Chain A
């Protein structure tokens, strides 16, 4: 309430306040209110009035004399009413009268008209120039009249602008008045007699003390804790007791020490440790977690130029986190010498002979050479290509002796292994042609022709899946002797060791007719399997015993032809088998696969590979064993031919020794295909390879 009244005071006229103050002085004996009485009639600053009324009010409230307080307030409100106000509209925005000719109403209720203003800009300007009092003329908002400020008023404005008190005579730094000073006043501030309670001991205090005493008695409160007598630091390890070492300490893993700084952390590092512009950009873009260095190396000219490191506290904090949050583990770091990991193998030099250099290139084919085969004498080579030709070469000179054109891209060629017969089986599309190249011993050639022509039709003609026909006319002149029409495309042909049987692969998943075996002497065809599991990739005869190997995509199945049963199923464990070769001893098989692996099976050992070699970078296309030497070779799409030493011991307890001895390079990769077929010379340690670049190469 007090403050509300004081705020209103700002509007009071001076005289009414002063008279009120006079009353107050008389009433309350406030010393030093009016130091001089001249102030009556002079301009009285509102603030000091506020102060005196405030003080009076305070005194009245202090003495709890409500009556006086009330009278004071009534007096104040009265003085508000008796104020002389010329415009009675009150404290409203005057622009509401903007559109009216008058500006409000006086005390009698008559309109106060706005003074006529017909000055335009020019008049205003002239007035500004000519009127010497223009600067001290202001417009009264309430009446709209121009008022010329008197000298006193201008002075007041100046003083207020300077932040001084309006009154010239006012002293801002009056001595403060103590109400309750050490000076004993003649009259008491209040005349109230003292209470009784000030003479008797307090009950509440007694209660509180009682509580405390009880608490101390019960031991809830300890009035004085005994002071610690031991010094802060002393010799903690004075008696080092070995028994005090707990079992825990053996288990405890001490925190690793922080990494010591390297040259790059120096304030003046060697220039090579500073980051180049690109390195710096890369560093900035990297995630802070993956940065190799947690800071940017800097070079500073001298020690005083070294700035504070902004991440210092961070790093200490991170160390703290590491210490109590990181799981610790003992890591067994094995120091392996990489040289020890390399297996100790016999030196290739000691395992000679094996082909080492490329000696001949057989050029002539215009397209990829899919298949090659060598005559049992080792004198001639036959190659079948996608350019629908079969070429016969002389091995020692690389001369093409004969070119036979056939009706399609040649998929497979196979020379009859029987020395007394000169026949070559060629497969293209769905046809297998038996050719007599007419090379070598004339007697053998004619004998072969006679053998074919001496065939007599049996009396009972059986229904056969394959049609046998004798070549005539132009074909005969070219060397075609027998033509076998198959129901579907033939992929591979292979002879039995004796040279009478010929096996063909007609890959067709799910069909019952995937493998057929022809008997040339009787011109008979048989389908050995009622059902084929999987897509047959290649087949092969056992070199000695009546076994037949069928390689599907995942497995190699070994059948006993006499007992007509499955004897073994080899799990190659690769995707997918592309080729297969059988060791001349007959107990070992190698499989090349499209997933770059070469699996060596020891049939006596297991149905799983004895060894898997991952030596090629790309899919293996063909593998081959040498007939006499302990060698095998693999050709792959990466254009390499790798010759390995594969020794099979007669002692059953000794595992075969496999050592890669030479990587032969020569074929260029065309259409992502490298070496397509490899084969060994029957007697020499030479290897032939045919590639997608249309060449056949001889390595000796």
Chain B
């Protein structure tokens, strides 16, 4: 024996973790600054395996960080900047108190600022890493760009976010990387494939925000600070890859022709350029002038097989289609993105928004997108359709028949393109229809009606047979009522053929049941859990199917009634 007695909680997993308060003290930062640092550096808490051991025997809920993470934060130059800023604020307050206005002026001029470039570089050592993580940045940036100048955040932040999101959208159009769009009740989801990374973001519908009181905008602002930096660098690099000028410039020759009288009405001279950019209707200037046109671009992959061609086709579903938007303000931009991303051309009413390229009266317009029940003046040589058609076409990667999307028509359901049904999942019939269309089968709208009629006939037959049965029964009843005992007859019974398949199945099921009996307790538990999950899955799918069936049946009944009335 000998040596010192080992003390508790001085070795082992305790040494790897540090509580939040301890970490804060070690960095000598206020809680707000610590939070800011964690957000910027991407440090998150860790859950120790044995909480009680790490918590020195206590079971109090506590957040733990890895000690290594905190040590890593110690060397962060931005911590110094935080302190500098704190001092600056103190000095400024003092100067205000003493009414030293010149001092205030001077200090404001020398306000300490920090840059997040090195943090971005450190967090995302390669460009692909950054692109992979740009989802949240986009959603946040798009949200902030819709904020009004209400003092919830700095005006500069809003402007920056707006600029960056417009740049991103321009890139998406220029690179034609948009894949899926989904109109949800929360906002519009976009999915793009940028450098092989799938990126999804959401844009809220353009309404004034009802700012909630229980949201800490400082946290959001810190995240936005990081995200704008990230997004700016990503945009820069992405523009470079496409040989586009950054910050984006409209294509030179178009710029002057675009200028028309109504522009002055719409925006100030200083703003009109950015507005035109954000209209997303014109193409961007390139550092290396583009020689070949789209046709040549199509032929870029001549012999690489059919698959490529397929993809290309899906890229340019709207090729040779000229759109004219008449939808009510909010969605025009979104629609425009879509149409342009997939090879179409878009314009809108001059009075609606800046940057329209051709007039409503243009004869070559093929599709006129309107989100109204009716429209007064209609041109014969174009389709008047609701905006959902564009979205459904993009998701389906084919040009859908326009009949279901005419004005004033009840729209078919809008499905989420993100759902990928695995085996056993419920697939809504609309999706099946779409898949059939994609395979090139023709829709069977007429057949449905016929079927319906046939169904009606069947129903009638069933009714007849039921009637017969009822008549037989009535006869029997009558006989019984007359008090005469029914003549007892022995009729030859039918031989029930033994269902061999079924017997075999039953036998197998029993074997399985018996084998389950022999399972170990642990395995049995796991097995039960898996089976429970599976059963729940099936139950949910069945529930949806049953709901759909009930809905369809009621619809059919309604239709029948209407027919009869007619």
Chain A residues at the B interface, C-beta cutoff of 8 Å:
221-223, 225, 232-237, 240-241, 244-246, 248-249, 252, 254-255, 257-258, 260-263, 265-273, 276, 295, 297-298, 300-304, 306-317, 319-321, 323-329, 336, 338, 341-345, 347-349, 613-615, 642, 658-663
Contacts and interface: CB of A to CB of B under 8 A. Distances in A.
Interface string B40-53: 00111111000000
Contacts of A306: 183, 185, 205
B251 interface: no
The 3 closest A-B pairs by CB, nearest first: A308-B207, A260-B418, A327-B47
Contacts, number: 258
Given A257-B135, A265-B416, A270-B413, A327 B44 contact: yes
A541 to B, nearest CB: 30
A246 to B, nearest CB: 7
Given A244-B121, A613-B518, A615-B517, A317 B185 contact: no
* Chain A contact residues: helix, strand, loop or mixed: loop
A236 B516 CA distance: 60
17 contacts: A225-B110, A263-B413, A265-B185, A297-B185, A302-B386, A312-B209, A314-B214, A314-B215, A320-B219, A320-B220, A327-B46, A342-B512, A342-B516, A343-B518, A348-B511, A614-B521, A660-B517
Contacts of A320: 39, 140, 219-220, 223
Interface in B347-403: 371-372, 386-388
B126 interface: yes
A271 B204 contact: no
A349 B211 CA distance: 71
A324 B526 contact: no
B130 interface: yes
A307 to B, nearest CB: 8
B55 interface: no
A313 B209 contact: yes
A663 B387 contact: no
Interface stretch (B233-241, B447-455, B485-493, B556-564): B233-241
Nearest to B372: A304
A223 B110 CA distance: 8
A660 B521 CA distance: 16
Interface string B507-522: 1001111111111010
Contact of A237 (B130, B205, B209, B211): B130
B415 A266 contact: yes
Interface in B184-239: 184-187, 189, 200, 204-205, 207-212, 214-216, 219-220, 223, 232-233, 235-237
A177 to B, nearest CB: 32
Of B140, B214, B511, chain A has the most CB atoms within 10 Å of the CB of B511
B544 interface: yes
A317 B215 contact: yes
A341 B45 contact: no
Contacts of B90: none
A237 B411 contact: no
B336 to A, nearest CB: 14
Given A258-B136, A343-B519, 8 more contacts: A234-B233, A244-B121, A265-B186, A303-B386, A304-B331, A312-B204, A614-B517, A663-B513
A272 B220 contact: no
Given A266-B416, A270-B415, A272-B428, A237 B127 contact: yes
Contact of A302 (B189, B220, B371, B515): B371
A271 B547 contact: yes
Contacts of A252: 42
A262 B419 contact: yes
Given A312-B186, A313-B143, A263 B47 contact: no
Contacts of A266: 182-185, 413-416
Contacts of B204: 308-309, 312
B478 to A, nearest CB: 40
B134 to A, nearest CB: 11
B212 A336 contact: no
A249 B530 CA distance: 34
B44 A309 contact: no
Nearest to A266: B414
A252 B45 CA distance: 12
Interface in B238-260: 240, 246
A225 B186 CA distance: 46
B35 interface: yes
Contacts of A263: 413, 415-416, 419, 428
A273 B544 contact: yes
Interface in B497-512: 507, 510-512
B413 A317 contact: no
A595 to B, nearest CB: 13
A269 B519 CA distance: 44
A244 B125 contact: yes
B473 to A, nearest CB: 34
A221 B518 CA distance: 83
A343 B515 contact: yes
A338 to B, nearest CB: 5
B416 A270 contact: no
Contact of A254 (B133, B139, B187, B514): B133
Interface string B307-341: 00000000000000000000110110000000000
Given A240-B127, A263-B419, A304-B327, A341 B519 contact: yes
B23 to A, nearest CB: 14
A660 B416 contact: no
A660 B236 CA distance: 70
A50 to B, nearest CB: 35
A295 B233 contact: no
A644 to B, nearest CB: 9
Contacts of B101: none
Contacts of B515: 342-345
Interface string B527-566: 1001100100000000011011001000000000000000
Nearest to B555: A271
B46 to A, nearest CB: 5
Contacts of B64: 327
A269 to B, nearest CB: 6
Contacts of B42: 252
B89 interface: no
Contacts of B186: 261, 265, 295, 309, 311-312, 315
A298 B186 CA distance: 11
B529 to A, nearest CB: 9
Contacts of A258: 135-136, 200
A317 B209 contact: no
B71 to A, nearest CB: 11
Contact of A308 (B205, B212, B512, B534): B205
B28 to A, nearest CB: 20
B269 interface: no
B200 A267 contact: no
B396 to A, nearest CB: 14
B437 interface: no
Contact of A317 (B205, B220, B386, B551): B220
Contacts of A341: 519, 523, 526-527, 530
Contacts of B534: 338
Please indicate which of the listed interface residues A343, A659, A661 has the most CB atoms of chain B within 10 Å of its own CB.
Answer: A343
